Structures are given as structure tokens and as C-alpha cells.
Amino acid sequence: MARLAPDAGGLLLLGDVNILYASGTLAAGLVWLPREGTPLLLVRRAQERAGWESPLLLASYRSYGDVPGLCAEAGVPLPRDAPVLVDMGWMTWSAGQLLQSRLQGVRLVSGDAVVRQARMVKTPWEIARLTEAGRRQAACLEELRAWLHPGMREDAIFRKLERLYSKAGHDGLVRISPPGRAVPGCVSAGASGLLSTAFDGPLGTVGRASAMPFGGNISVIWNSGDVLAVDVPFALQGYVADRTQCFWDVAAPLPDAVRRAQECCLAVEASIAARLFPGVTPAGLWEEARAMAASWGFADSFMGSGPDQARFVGHGIGLEMDEFPALARKFDIPLEENSVVALEPKIALPPYGMVGVEHTFVVTPAGGHPINDGNLDSIFMEVESLNMMWF
């Protein structure tokens, strides 16, 4: 706040994930963070639970109209002579209008940049949870590898991974902004991975249905000679590890085009991960990744193809799957130490599917430190009994 909004009198948080971040409880309510004074958690329900889970000063309210009086009673009144920051990106239009109508005389302005940049830098506590999520995710993918064979349906593979994740402690919910959205990830066999969805990412899928273009399709089969791409994030205590794993059946000769595209993605990931230093501009890393893919001959298929090419090569991750920073064009907020970034270079390769990798890294003075278990330099791992490999 002091750096980005020095004239603001405080920050009012209403988005549930931001309330969790600031208070320690996923409350139905809001948090008032005054520039000076004691933060206040105001809840509409489950006050007893909020008292157990949050160390903040607590008050109960019924409507937004109660908020000014409760803040004043707590000794941290809402200012009338300075703007109040609000996390507008996490509110619906109607909720924002209602809030403003109940806080007469209080000038509300966007505090989204303040919130996003604060959450961009992770504490050791957060990094420990992200690392453990990555470890459990890797273990589940190893178990999946031992079970897989060509001829399986996408939906069966996805359901198997769901069971493995559940057993490993996956929350079952991966949050993504804007509010109210959650994504289960996807399993994409062959050309299914080339079918774009409304989700802004390179890997596509047929999905379960038009109303749920995620997960795996009950009719699409993974055939020998096609890429199987598995991109299903793992959440632990709210914190998300993101990883994409592609599989190939060794019974089918590996085409040079597939090998070369995968090698390109590995090279891009390794190069960009090595440059994840504090102070580096994400937009520059995006341009480096694009130029590197173009030098391999994949300019038109890097991060997808046609008008649906994704315009980023990585994204911040934490309590949500799309936090700051974005390794994308025009994103010029420098990386900071202990930011956490998922790098996901991918290449659309008809008719085989979408190839690529994704691992999650912590920004350090020595470059990106991976939190996902596994060998990042290896293309293939063989399972002789099932006659398949992954890359």
C-alpha cells in the first residue's frame, strides 16, 4: 500500500481468497486493513469458526451498512478524507454497487494491484505447502504411469488420477480468478489436446461435455502413436502445484517431429527457469521463449496454434492458479524473490496432439528452483511391463 497507493487510507478485502490470505479463515464477510491500527475481520456467518481460525479482531455484521459503525467502534474508522482500496476484481458488478451505496461518503478505488503484488511474494510457510503439494502430485503421476496403457478412455484416466489425488490429500478444488471459477484440469489424448476451450491456456480437450470442457471425455481413447497430455493441478490446504505430464507408448516408433518438439519445450523451460531471478522483467522472458521456439521452427505452433495461441509461457501460482506474475507480453512488474511461477512451454503438433512440459518454480537469486519432484532434464521414462514411456 505504501509503495503503490500512498494516499490510500486502507484496504477493504471482500474476495473470499483474499480474506483467507489476510485473516486465516475463509469467511463470508470482509477484512478492513487500515493504514494504521488493528486489522478487523467482519463476518456475516460462522463467527465462532472465524474466531478459532483467525487471530484478527472480530466483529459480526448483517449488512454493509453496519460496517462503518463497527469499524469506528473498533477504533479503526473508514476514512472520509482518503480513498479506500477495494479488491474490485474479486467482486461482481452488483456487489460493488451495493457496497458503494452502503458506504456513503467513502471513496472506493481499485486495490487489485496492491493485493496481487502482495500475494505474488510467498512466505516460507506458503512455499512449504506448495512444495509438499508438488511432491504429492509427482507421486500420484508415478502411480498413474504404472497403471496406464493405450486403449484407455480419457475419462477413465482422469477418474483414476482423481482417486489417486484424493488419497494423497488433494483438496478437490483448484481456484482460479475471477471469483466463482474452479478448474479440475484435463486429460487429452491425441487431437483432443488441440481443441481449444474457453480456458486461457495452450492445452485443449474435448472434455466431458459442452457445459464442462474439462476432465476427460468418455468416448475419446488414447491410441498408440498419439500423445497423452495430463494437466491436472494438485491443491493442498488451498495452495496449488501445477504440472503437465505427457506420455508416449513405446510400442509405437517415436516420430522425429514429436521428439524435436518435446526437446524444444524442455530447452525453453530450462532456459527460462535459469533466468527466474529477482528483478527480471516477465515480458522479456516471454519474448525470449517466443524467439527460442521460433529458432526451432515452431513460431506458429508455440503455445497453441492459430488465433487461440496462448500469449504467455508461465503464470504465478499460489492460492489461485493464475496469480502474478504472468510471463506475458507487456507484463513489466519485475520478478521478486520467492515469487512462484509455473512454466508451461507447449507446442501444438497435429496429428499427434499437444506436446510440452510444465513445472512450478520458486524465484531465487540463483534462478528458478523447482518444487515438483522428478527429473526435469529427462524426456522419457520407460515402464517395460506396460511397454510405454512418458516424456
CATH of the domain at 324: 3.90.230.10
If asked whether residues 238 and 336 sit together in one domain, one would say yes
What is the per-residue pLDDT across 140-151, written as a single tens digit (0 to 9) for each? 999 999 899 899
pLDDT of residue 298: 97
**The three three-digit cell numbers of residue 330, written as one number:** 507487456
Count of CB atoms within 10 A of residue 51's CB?
A: 14
Q: How many CB atoms lie within 10 A of CB 47?
A: 16
Does residue 4 lie in a domain region? Answer: no
Task: Record the pTM.
Answer: 0.92
Strands 108-110 and 84-86: parallel
- Pick the most confident of 185-199, 208-222, 337-351: 337-351
Does residue 378 lie within any of the structural domains?
A: yes
Same domain? For 99 and 236 the reply is: no
Instruction: Identify whether residues 113 and 129 lie together within a single domain.
Output: no
Residues 249 and 279 in one domain: yes
Residue 151 lies in a domain: yes
Q: What is the model's pLDDT at position 110?
A: 95
Query: DSSP letters of 39-58?
Result: -EEEESS-HHHHHHH--SEE
pLDDT band per the 50, 70, 90 thresholds, residue 384: very low
Does 68 share its domain with 130? no
Residues 59 and 147 in one domain: no
189 and 70, same structural domain? no
Domain range for residue 15?
10-119
Count of domains observed in the chain: 2
Report whether pLDDT(288) > 60.
yes
Q: Cα 143 from chain centroid?
A: 23
Same domain, 50 and 77: yes
The count of other CB atoms within 10 Å of the CB of residue 261 is: 26
CB 68 within 8 A of CB 10: no
- C-alpha angle 174-175-176 in degrees, rounded to nearest 5: 125
274 lies in the same domain as 192: yes
Is residue 3 in a domain? no
Q: Is the dihedral of CA 302, 303, 306, 307 positive or negative?
A: negative
Each residue's pLDDT tens digit, 14-24: 988 999 999 99
Q: pLDDT value at position 196? A: 86
